[in-house]
Amino acid sequence: MNFFPLMLIALAMSTDAFAVAICKGVAMKTPRLSDAIKVGVLFGFIEAITPILGWLLGYVAVQYIAQWDHWVILALMLFLGSRMIVNGREQSGDACEERQAKTESLFMLILTAISTSIDAFAVGISLAFASVNIGLAALCIGLATCIMVTIGILLGKNLGMLIGKRAEILGGIVLILIGFFTFFTHS
């Protein structure tokens, strides 16, 4: 897998965290850059760790299912992409209030970051089958998430949930396309 698909995966993985960040930004009266960066680093760090954990699990399993790895990648990407599209379409106007209520404390913010990074865990499993440099992939995913969360918080007041929903839908479409690309280019 070359750099371009890796960057698309990184951006796709950051879209659900971006939607949460927009909600946090909407709820804040005047978000400060320092606060936005702190939350961005937290989300980025957690989002960078989870694909490594998934990759470790996938790396162990790859020897047992190597002949079907392209099917596994396709199935995981279809599942995750479809889930992101459905989640993006189901969000109501009150979704920001619901999400913001869940991110009031630091503990809840950490749990929210973990919940938005579960898809990165599954992508990490897929990356093990695709023989991707997991260090580079995790760095890209973590940086993309950090940047997207910071921007989402700072622009949340102006962007509202409209962008967040569309970002999650776009991220899902990207994952599905990468799954099909990997499937059809499997050698």
Greatest mean pLDDT among 32-41, 77-86, 153-162 lies in 32-41
Torsion on CA atoms 97, 101, 104, 109, rounded to nearest 10:
-90
- Which alpha helices (H) appear in the chain, and where do they start and end? 3-27, 33-65, 69-90, 95-102, 106-116, 118-129, 134-184
Residue 142 has pLDDT above 80, yes or no: yes
Per the document, the length of the chain is: 187
Residue 151 has pLDDT above 90, yes or no: yes
**CA geometry: angle 43, 45, 47, nearest 5 deg:** 65
Mean pLDDT taken over the chain: 82
Cβ count within 10 A of residue 185: 10
When pLDDT is averaged across residues 44-54 and rounded to a whole number, the result is 96
pTM of the model: 0.74
